[in-house]
Amino acid sequence: MSPQTFTKQYINGEWKTGSSEKTVENVNPYTNQTIAIIQSANEQDLDEAYKAAEASQKDWQRVTPGKKQAYFDALLGVMTKRKDEIVDWLVKESGSTLIKAEAEFQSAYGILRESASFPTRMDGQILPSNIPGKENRIYRTPKGVIGVIGPWNFPFHLAMRSIAPAIATGNTVVVKPASSTPATAGLLLAELFEEAGFPKGVINAVVGRGSEIGDAFVTHPIPKLISFTGSTEVGSHIGELAGKHIKDTALELGGNNAMLVLEDADIEKAVQAAAFGKFLHQGQICIALNRIVVHESIHDQFVEALKQKVEGLQAGDPAEKQTVVGPLINQEAAERIQKDMNESMEQGATRIVGGEGSGNLMQPALLINVTNEMPIAKNEIFGPVAAVIKVANEEEAIQVANDSPYGLGGSVFTKDVHRGVEVAKQIETGMIHVNDQSVNDEGHVAFGGEKQSGLGRFGGPFAIDKFTTVKTIGVMSGYREFPF
């Protein structure tokens, strides 16, 4: 199959035209030009994909750890060879700047390298028993078939973050990529696995709108776990469907991440970190900074330095090296962000730079005099607007950070590292970083949220736990005596 098209489904090692009458249009968010039109998958295609995954799983599970690792080594080689193509797809399909696309490639590569170690880390236990002559053996095994729903914002990395660990631990996968990024969240990945020589059925990719196959993807009887990365609203629906059918879920959902800049922070370093954590990929990242909470004694100095930084960020064509802020994913996103920004200004916020929009492109903006109740602070922005909230002390900063239904990421800036850790402990979030921004995702480290930001953890041993199950086999060396 030509790497330039990606117009077909990938099921059981074959590229086939979707059976639905509907289509998915793959559009470049910067040029608004159509990249490709894909004939959608319907429930029949989905059923075929799940059955292919189920049929291949038992054989894949029995492949020796060394052989599995050899497949992953081959995949790492294919990724390296096709890096430029992967970056190009990220730029044209998701509006990634070259800076972001490079970061995404490296993150996905890191996840792949970490996952390659999983086949030899599938350990069990032998536990004692209170019954004489008995021992309890705990065996770790794959769950079976995993359904992966990939997002559009970091499509390649975040789909790989579920696919690679699932396959490395002996499962097989069906992935449904986001309709906005069908190649980088699914079809391109499938082709890379295919080129690396993975057996048929180990990975399958079906492209179709959630309205047509979304619920069936979750409720189908074959998948044992649904891994979803996306909005809290959709994640809640998936969790409800999965719970009804007693399926496990891995849900990485929305965030409203706060950076706390305490009065003793290094202002220059904090500004540099804030700009990166806020404006990478136009802020369209679940762990991007949504609120910047600054102590009043350094507020004005911080804002002036951040204003100068924001004024120097170039917005435009994501394919140009100097571009820092590229396009939003679509016009709907641009309109939503402008609405939240305008309503916040009506409520007293002040825009001191940026915010102008043209099509899907929006100039990076900085708002001050923001309160936690304003839409720009209360909602997940997912756009290039930095909202600064002034606080009087550390206690208020912690209260503001926690005053959100989300709890995914965060950041604390202070020259006193111990103080930073003590503050970080008080933030209700799955991840938080001292003297760093919030956009961090290392393959061996726990990744996930609290509250409405999701369930479960990705990364290293936490991913192994999520994509496997354990079975207890009690073994008698002799025979028990029973009372009747």
The answer to the question of residue 447 being in a domain is no
Tokens for 441, please give them. Answer: 């995702």
Q: Are residues 211 and 285 in the same domain?
A: no
Closest CA to 352 of 324, 328, 385: 385
The answer to the question of residue 484 being in a domain is no
CA 209/CA 468 separation, integer angstroms? 29
The pLDDT assigned to 3 comes to 45
CA 349/CA 342 separation, integer angstroms? 9
Tell me the β-bridge partners of 37.
Answer: 25
| CB-CB contact of 370 with 391 (8 Å) | no
Sign, Cα dihedral of 186, 152, 17, 79? negative
The pLDDT assigned to 100 comes to 98
In angstroms, the first-to-last Cα distance of the chain is 68
Q: Are residues 62 and 158 in the same domain?
A: yes
Amino acid (1-letter code) at residue 98: L
Q: Are residues 249 and 276 in the same domain?
A: no
Angstrom CA distances, 161 to 109, 175, 377, 473, stand at 10, 12, 29, 31
The pLDDT assigned to 183 comes to 97
Q: Are residues 62 and 154 in the same domain?
A: yes
| CATH code of the domain covering residue 134 | 3.40.605.10
Please identify every residue annotated as catalytic: 252
Tokens for 168, please give them. Answer: 């490395």
Q: Are residues 280 and 386 in the same domain?
A: yes
Q: Are residues 248 and 286 in the same domain?
A: no
Task: Give the pLDDT of the chain (484 residues) as one tens digit per residue.
Answer: 444 479 999 999 999 999 999 999 999 999 999 999 999 999 999 999 999 999 999 999 999 999 999 999 999 999 999 999 999 999 999 999 999 999 999 999 999 999 999 999 999 999 999 999 999 999 999 999 999 999 999 999 999 999 999 999 999 999 999 999 999 999 999 999 999 999 999 999 999 988 899 999 999 999 999 999 999 999 999 999 999 999 999 999 999 999 999 999 999 999 999 999 999 999 999 999 999 999 999 999 999 999 999 999 999 999 999 999 999 999 999 999 999 999 999 999 999 999 999 999 999 999 999 999 999 999 999 999 999 999 999 999 999 999 999 999 999 999 999 999 999 999 999 999 999 999 999 999 999 999 999 999 999 999 999 999 999 999 999 999 999 9
Amino acid (1-letter code) at residue 124: G
The pLDDT assigned to 2 comes to 43
| CATH code of the domain covering residue 338 | 3.40.309.10
The answer to the question of residue 479 being in a domain is no
Cα Rg of the chain (Å, integer): 24
Tokens for 43, please give them. Answer: 């429930």
CA 434/CA 259 separation, integer angstroms? 10
CA 42/CA 207 separation, integer angstroms? 9
The answer to the question of residue 145 being in a domain is yes
Q: Are residues 167 and 293 in the same domain?
A: no
The answer to the question of residue 99 being in a domain is yes
Give the residue numbers spanning the domain of 107.
9-253+453-472
The answer to the question of residue 382 being in a domain is yes
Q: Are residues 202 and 331 in the same domain?
A: no
Sheet holding 350-353, edge to edge: 350-353, 365-368, 385-391, 289-295, 257-261, 410-413, 433-434
Q: Are residues 228 and 173 in the same domain?
A: yes
Q: Are residues 334 and 415 in the same domain?
A: yes
The answer to the question of residue 477 being in a domain is no
The pLDDT assigned to 414 comes to 98
CA 340/CA 372 separation, integer angstroms? 13
Within the chain, how many helices (H) and strands (E) appear?
Answer: 15, 24
Question: How many domains does the chain divide into?
Answer: 2
Sign, Cα dihedral of 329, 331, 335, 336? negative
SS3 assignment, position 52: helix
The answer to the question of residue 106 being in a domain is yes
Tokens 């490296």 belong to 106
Q: Are residues 295 and 230 in the same domain?
A: no
| CB-CB contact of 6 with 182 (8 Å) | yes
Q: Are residues 389 and 462 in the same domain?
A: no
Please tell me the total number of residues recorded for the chain in this structure.
484
The pLDDT assigned to 362 comes to 97
